[in-house]
Structure 1
């Protein structure tokens, strides 16, 4: 098998900092001086892949430890590969072409696995002492932050073979139920008249009405079935209900999730970045369209803050159309004409976006104090009644004609 990552160049992984071939080479069909026309040539193939997730309750990306497992490797050969020998040879996989690939770090995988202090065991292996891997880097930009797509050599369908194993450490998460919606978009494009490929179009221009300002929301979640779980669906549903409880009309809450068919009617697939960006931009640019604009972000995230949208072609690699970068999001929100813009960043590396917003002069309506989600003042005497909140702040308010002209 080979392992493919979504967040590095062409899915590149390396099991050794010197003298090894990368997955990108395998995907291109190159192996040293010879050319192999199999989809995944043998240079990067291994007998198995082992992934240990030290933070199973956290959203991806977060650091995971990924090993290649090879049988019929001698102890001497395994040591030469900087591996851990336990009848099989385990070699640490790191992202290739990363900036600190050759930097040394003292906190290696052995410390993560408890192998650095005296004699200890790994996965039932024999007692052993420290290993040269402790000198290897396992951190920073070289860390693996996602579960890889593990594909058998020669499998042109790219069937995911990585499976979660329930251990005492943590339960396996509840997987996302997928039907025909998992069909690659490329196949749908060849059969646009088929019912299962039908997608509800997003009529963004209907979101803003004359002489009216409304509260709007955009919810984004999901990358791939392997790291998108039922609790992500529940996150979206709970946030959706919270918005409705605060007066947001269902027509003004746009949910982008997975491919299609995983959520109730009214949601949209997260396969078209331009649709998402155009909608956010339109609501922001249209004068008097949005009073409050809420963005709820719950996608897997690279360490530079880039959100991963749904893997439309199911190749395991986050292509350009499947990534929503911090720069792109900030450009879509720059100079937004909404009265206030609220971002709920329920994902990893939220500090990147937060820092950029704090230092920006193009996003002045993100700072607010003492107002509710719909913009009502918090400290008025006497307090506003529920009827006054709904009429004057929540949902939509009519604007005088003079204001428009």
Structure 2
């Protein structure tokens, strides 16, 4: 549903219409303003955030915060499911084979460990940034006594209790201040065993802050309809512009052979046709997962188009630019030429690995990464089974990306990153001997990466263009050498200078390789085959 609310009351009615309930203006206003004050005063006491983030929150105005709200439907309460949720037990996915069983079970059974609440409120203090970044999630419970609300570390509002949500099994939560009795018990256990359970918990990794909008569903809603909606109001930040769907989006898992339709059809990626004999080319992979419709915006498509056009202007052939974006039905058919859904993780990894492993296939390999990202650098692709949790097939970790790029045979691998937590990838690359030809361009403000590089000229040196930014990264000598060329690999300071025709013919796009050069550098095992 796409709408622009002109008043808080109208917005509340629209939210209620989607989830089967209505919300009073005064009640919602009370929640938002209470939660906002709590965010400014207490967030950095509850979770561990960088000093810069805490300083930013202390000067925050309500007009800079996007507000999302949900209320329970008449059938019961709601659950808030996060893509990086830590629930005990296995969460079954909703596939075609298990749909009959799932319909007879409540979401509380499908999400063991999740607690039900009367409503959910989310405040996003950075609505202009891509996810993940810290957001504040409050559970709202009705008919709770003041004593019980205090026991839940909540905020008592007379009629409701607001409780700030944090992820479980994370370092911040386990290191929270304990009572005197807890400390005495801890000392006693430590005397009995220096490797006790408390000691192990203290060293657990992870952070408690929440980085994504949750999937908020009714306890008895077998369709898992998202009840969380952005509230458009002059006092709050403007709601992000959603990407309108061109066709109904159905889960990939329901596209079975006996139900195959044009909507289920996916164009196959013929990776083996990407590398031709006696030829080397420039290749690119553009990856923008999106994760779900609610955090997939029009600007994500615009950034992809900007970067794609820049590659075309620099000689990249359209057949050698592979774009993986969102799920099914997020982009109109006329815009999907050469675009594939980001639902097939193995297809993405196999394509990158094939380009890297094939001798002489790629001269320059460009990766543009623009996906929602966890704080460990893991990219979220797309929630293909619509269960709200990112399983192994729906996330692309830093380790997996580095494995796909290890020992890449391209002359240079350029990573253009427009997402959060790229520092994790940067640190892993700095200490690796298997990625000496890989350069991570993450020193720019990540929200402007596509726009910044859109003006790159075919004859312009990469390092010269990079120097135009006020946030130029520090580069090691090897990285400077890899960037002291154009995007197509042409030298920048040749004497005499190369003409535009020479650059286009000898460097841009594809070049034919001499037979002798092809066989000279091929592995011995390939030369010995008859």
Q: TM-score, normalised by structure 1?
A: 0.83
Distance across 1 between alignment mates of 2:157 and 2:411? 61
User: 1:377 deviation in Å?
Assistant: 1.4
Other structure's SS at 2:324 match: strand
Partner residue in 2 for 1:297: 369
User: 1:259 deviation in Å?
Assistant: 1.5
Does residue 51 of the first structure (1) align with residue 128 of the second (2)?
Answer: no
Partner residue in 1 for 2:424: 352
Residue range with higher mean Cα deviation, 166-175 or 251-260:
166-175
Instruction: Report if the CA contact (8 A) 1:181-1:259 is conserved.
Output: no
Instruction: Report if the CA contact (8 A) 1:213-1:290 is conserved.
Output: yes
Instruction: Report if the CA contact (8 A) 1:149-1:162 is conserved.
Output: yes
Residue from 491, 501, 511 that aligns with 1:377: 491
What count of residue pairs does the alignment treat as equivalent?
A: 353
User: 1:192 deviation in Å?
Assistant: 5.5
User: Structure 1 residues 392, 198: CA separation in 2 closer, same or farther (over 3 Å shift)?
Assistant: same
Partner residue in 2 for 1:160: 226
The residue correspondences of 1:311-350 to structure 2 (distance < 5 A) are 311-350=383-422
Does residue 286 of the first structure (1) align with residue 353 of the second (2)?
Answer: no
Distance across 1 between alignment mates of 2:386 and 2:260? 21
Instruction: Report if the CA contact (8 A) 2:83-2:389 is conserved.
Output: yes
Q: Which has the higher helix share?
A: 2
User: 1:26 deviation in Å?
Assistant: 9.5
Partner residue in 1 for 2:106: 38
Instruction: Report if the CA contact (8 A) 1:191-1:197 is conserved.
Output: no
Instruction: Report if the CA contact (8 A) 1:99-1:141 is conserved.
Output: yes
Distance across 1 between alignment mates of 2:291 and 2:304? 14
Instruction: Report if the CA contact (8 A) 1:215-1:396 is conserved.
Output: yes
User: 1:384 deviation in Å?
Assistant: 2.4
Partner residue in 2 for 1:113: none
Other structure's SS at 2:256 match: helix
Does residue 81 of the first structure (1) align with residue 195 of the second (2)?
Answer: no
Instruction: Report if the CA contact (8 A) 1:306-1:325 is conserved.
Output: yes
Instruction: Report if the CA contact (8 A) 1:27-1:40 is conserved.
Output: no
Partner residue in 1 for 2:82: 5
Distance across 1 between alignment mates of 2:372 and 2:91? 26
Distance across 2 between alignment mates of 1:389 and 1:260? 39
Partner residue in 1 for 2:309: 241
Distance across 1 between alignment mates of 2:105 and 2:137? 27
User: 1:3 deviation in Å?
Assistant: 0.2
Partner residue in 1 for 2:327: 259
User: Structure 1 residues 237, 64: CA separation in 2 closer, same or farther (over 3 Å shift)?
Assistant: same
Distance across 2 between alignment mates of 1:352 and 1:372? 27
Instruction: Report if the CA contact (8 A) 2:250-2:328 is conserved.
Output: no
Residue range with higher mean Cα deviation, 285-294 or 219-228:
219-228
Instruction: Report if the CA contact (8 A) 2:79-2:218 is conserved.
Output: yes
Instruction: Report if the CA contact (8 A) 2:107-2:218 is conserved.
Output: no
Instruction: Report if the CA contact (8 A) 1:176-1:229 is conserved.
Output: yes
Other structure's SS at 2:107 match: coil
Does residue 274 of the first structure (1) align with residue 346 of the second (2)?
Answer: yes
Which stretches in structure 2 are left out of the alignment for 5+ residues? Answer: 1-77, 94-103, 178-204, 439-478, 520-530
Q: TM-score, normalised by structure 2?
A: 0.64
Which stretches in structure 1 are left out of the alignment for 5+ residues? Answer: 13-21, 29-35, 106-138
User: Structure 1 residues 169, 39: CA separation in 2 closer, same or farther (over 3 Å shift)?
Assistant: closer
Does residue 214 of the first structure (1) align with residue 281 of the second (2)?
Answer: yes
Does residue 186 of the first structure (1) align with residue 263 of the second (2)?
Answer: no
Instruction: Report if the CA contact (8 A) 2:81-2:114 is conserved.
Output: no
Write out per-residue CA displacement over residues 212-238 of structure 1, whole angstroms, 9 at most, x where no aligned residue: 100000000121111111111111111
Distance across 1 between alignment mates of 2:257 and 2:231? 37
Distance across 1 between alignment mates of 2:246 and 2:253? 17
Partner residue in 1 for 2:474: none
Partner residue in 1 for 2:452: none
Residue from 299, 302, 307 that aligns with 1:231: 299
RMSD: 2.1
Does residue 402 of the first structure (1) align with residue 468 of the second (2)?
Answer: no
Residue range with higher mean Cα deviation, 182-191 or 282-291:
182-191
Residue range with higher mean Cα deviation, 354-363 or 68-77:
68-77
Distance across 2 between alignment mates of 1:27 and 1:67? 26
Distance across 1 between alignment mates of 2:368 and 2:121? 33
User: 1:103 deviation in Å?
Assistant: 1.7
